[in-house]
Structure 1
């Protein structure tokens, strides 16, 4: 017999041997000897009150053999001689589109402007140490996309877009720990993601797919409103019938290309703001109601905050406990910040984007002449402003949190995880009122919700601008562009995803749609 039940343990109980078996025995009213195994299905932490609990959903195996460890298998086929599907971009959407093509018996031809994970590291070092931005190889572009050098957060609310469990199991198949199948808010960690991404690449090549790095797409050959060929930067062409466009939300050249070819695009609402960085122990003390160091059984604490300010949402985004702030610029002359965490989340700082909703129809009228690209141009202006106010390098403009809210230039700044460094700047006056005034009110409200959050020990760093695409590439019910046959906009770059998992699910869906058209 197998029974699925809910259990909870306290911090003290969590360190007791066989605690879940003991709890299950008591809950079910049976001797422990009758329980062959307690298998954890789900685990979460409830820290809302002073007594912290671990909540478990478990399967209890009673008087029957415990199941063997599950093997995760996928029906990958030899597609070396199969019909081709071209995929532009090798981030989560492109990777999962390629894997799904192989399952369906089609040969993915992946074109990635950036480098593989090993070679990409040198360019990340250059932007951190030397402030040199390689426009094709950076924290956004390269093997695995922006997801490779991120926290690897896998939590998603997009449960209706695809099979989340399948996405997770495929990550386990390629090297992720099975813990991601259990945790309520799973993550992989930036230190482990590169190897996992490399394993996915090797699977694609093993079964006959192709991956071309440092291969930038600069044009499409379109005849009678249908894709006929992809034009590469070296002037060569690849004949193509089906193209999955999975270029990510920072591939601005693709938006310009489509716009210049009068291919339909739409402006899309998005969010922008700053990244706030606290010492991790402050967030731990707030969330875990503790003084000093948190209990070793507890992970670095995170938070999720939202407030309505003047009819716009102000909210936390991509919160990275025990993490780093990183330079996410994709071109010279701009400063963009993002966050990432290692798997252990054991850095001294916690950082999170704090952003304001931007309604492209109501909030940025003076950019209206840019049409579908008005949100993109607004983004670019703020990134150039951050570059100038930071000192015209990858040094980022920053203030102490309390000074930002009170409208004062900071005389000095707190220590930071941001390697290129910070420069004191009046972000409170540099940011547009649309964003700055709402952020100041939002931070004040967050300080009321989390006592201790509003502190001079935190830095506000600008700008957090790449939360999502400010452009939507439309598609019809078959996931194909309504004007261009054979073009399938996909993932975050198309405006159809908001993270690793939702992008992966959209990649699978686009692969299914692309092959269905043959």
Structure 2
């Protein structure tokens, strides 16, 4: 047995010993049946916490160099092949996560990505968030949802999904790290970047795309699609300011909040299908409340330093309808995420430190096409979009406008009554 490529070993250690190198070496040596002195190097591959019992355990996957050092880690590259003259052009509408990664993939495939983003670059966009918080005024093309990086840029950057068909997740994490995200996201079971770090990561991805020969146009809201002479193929797009962009292929990566894009697609004669989605409320708790329950702490005891702000997930089925928590933000904040001034929408975010005294999570229920039947006569296949808009304008009225969200105590919400105080 020798160092070579290393040996992967899974060990479980109590919280008090999980960060101790000697304890790790002893556990790995015992698992391999060798002396700890033969372990020359250990490298963390994955770390998760099991807090189901009172004695909290850390589950570690370690790469061990036995009788020799581990090979050096390959540096993560942010170099993409340059666009060649005459390369096919892919027009990408939207520069959120889907648009960013589509542009990077186009470069890998030898295509030239040309990105159209209705909002502003991440630095300019930051200034448009202040009017939402101070005056309750939404800049309708530049806000918490629209602009470089999409909604995630200023609302957290959690990198976790319960979906089973997740694709090359490790590759996505490595791209983020290559562009400045903390390396811990490669080993954490529930990786998270944080709203304070994401803007720099997003800017670095933009620079990679531009350096390779791609194009990114901000303040470029698409209003129409260009078609081939026979009308059978989409060959480009027209922006609100009249600019036209021709391409060999067009990809819409506009997110769920761009309702005008759905209306445009319907007007352009594209085939649309109504599908289920989820809506709900955001619930907020003191972080200490969540910590105490998840980590079995006494009310007077603070969370140990070795433990992150606790999270939770809830999922169940009630009367054949899925209900689940969503976008849980330990140590986070609730932020206004509307895209129009006559509606109220809230989202959650956390900084990298996750040190807010509060936690919050979405709590949502599935909505099926038949639930929006009353909107179908007027809105047709966009009945679900109209239903969503109706809920969000009702929330605005209930909060009194100016981006004030209506709120209730949880006990009052569960008992169907208005809270007299918060």
TM-score by length of 2: 0.94
2:318 corresponds in structure 1 to 309
1:171 corresponds in structure 2 to 176
Contact 1:35/1:62 (8 A) holds in 2 = yes
Question: Of 117, 142, 150, which residue of structure 1 is paired with 2:147?
Answer: 142
Q: CA deviation at 1:160?
A: 3.8
Structure 2 CA distance for aligned equivalents of residues 156 and 333 of structure 1: 31
More moved, 403-412 vs 273-282: 403-412
Structure 2 CA distance for aligned equivalents of residues 28 and 77 of structure 1: 43
2:194 corresponds in structure 1 to 189
1:476 corresponds in structure 2 to none
Matches within 5 A, 1:231-310: 231-291=238-298, 292-310=301-319
In the TM superposition, structure 1's runs of 4+ consecutive aligned residues that sit over 4 Å from their partners are none
1:427 corresponds in structure 2 to none
Give the secondary-structure state (helix, strand or coil) at the position aligned to 1:151: coil
Contact 2:132/2:138 (8 A) holds in 1 = yes
Structure 1 CA distance for aligned equivalents of residues 20 and 225 of structure 2: 62
The count of corresponding residues between Structure 1 and Structure 2 is 412
**Are 1:37 and 2:41 an aligned pair?**
yes
Q: CA deviation at 1:88?
A: 0.6
1:103 corresponds in structure 2 to 108
Question: Of 5, 13, 20, which residue of structure 2 is paired with 1:16?
Answer: 20
Q: CA deviation at 1:159?
A: 5.2
Question: Of 340, 353, 373, which residue of structure 2 is paired with 1:331?
Answer: 340
Give the secondary-structure state (helix, strand or coil) at the position aligned to 2:213: coil
Q: CA deviation at 1:309?
A: 1.7
1:396 corresponds in structure 2 to 405
Structure 1 CA distance for aligned equivalents of residues 32 and 191 of structure 2: 29
Structure 1 CA distance for aligned equivalents of residues 277 and 69 of structure 2: 52
1:479 corresponds in structure 2 to none
| CA separation of 1:201 and 1:314: change in aligned 2, threshold 3 A | same
Structure 1 CA distance for aligned equivalents of residues 121 and 84 of structure 2: 22
| Per-residue CA distance 1:230-263 (angstroms, 9 max, x = gap) | 1111123222221111011111110000112221
Structure 2 CA distance for aligned equivalents of residues 409 and 228 of structure 1: 53
1:372 corresponds in structure 2 to 381
Give the secondary-structure state (helix, strand or coil) at the position aligned to 1:326: strand
Point out where structure 1 has 5 or more consecutive residues left out of the alignment.
414-518
Contact 1:80/1:207 (8 A) holds in 2 = no
2:73 corresponds in structure 1 to 69
Point out where structure 2 has 5 or more consecutive residues left out of the alignment.
none
Contact 1:389/1:397 (8 A) holds in 2 = yes
Structure 1 CA distance for aligned equivalents of residues 401 and 166 of structure 2: 42
Structure 1 CA distance for aligned equivalents of residues 251 and 332 of structure 2: 33
2:62 corresponds in structure 1 to 58
1:83 corresponds in structure 2 to 88
Contact 1:80/1:209 (8 A) holds in 2 = no
Give the secondary-structure state (helix, strand or coil) at the position aligned to 1:397: coil
Q: CA deviation at 1:147?
A: 1.5
2:99 corresponds in structure 1 to 94
Structure 1 CA distance for aligned equivalents of residues 351 and 84 of structure 2: 36
| Per-residue CA distance 1:381-412 (angstroms, 9 max, x = gap) | 01000000101110100010001112222121
**Are 1:340 and 2:349 an aligned pair?**
yes
Give the secondary-structure state (helix, strand or coil) at the position aligned to 2:406: strand
Structure 1 CA distance for aligned equivalents of residues 19 and 274 of structure 2: 53
More moved, 388-397 vs 75-84: 75-84
| CA separation of 1:101 and 1:218: change in aligned 2, threshold 3 A | same
Give the secondary-structure state (helix, strand or coil) at the position aligned to 2:369: coil
1:411 corresponds in structure 2 to 420
Give the secondary-structure state (helix, strand or coil) at the position aligned to 2:355: coil
1:448 corresponds in structure 2 to none
Contact 1:271/1:358 (8 A) holds in 2 = yes
Q: CA deviation at 1:161?
A: 5.2
Contact 1:10/1:51 (8 A) holds in 2 = yes
Structure 1 CA distance for aligned equivalents of residues 360 and 101 of structure 2: 29
Give the secondary-structure state (helix, strand or coil) at the position aligned to 2:204: helix
Structure 2 CA distance for aligned equivalents of residues 13 and 228 of structure 1: 60
Q: CA deviation at 1:379?
A: 0.4
Structure 1 CA distance for aligned equivalents of residues 162 and 287 of structure 2: 26
More moved, 246-255 vs 220-229: 220-229
1:470 corresponds in structure 2 to none
2:118 corresponds in structure 1 to 113
Question: Of 192, 198, 203, which residue of structure 1 is paired with 2:208?
Answer: 203
**Are 1:352 and 2:357 an aligned pair?**
no
- RMSD across aligned positions (CA): 1.5
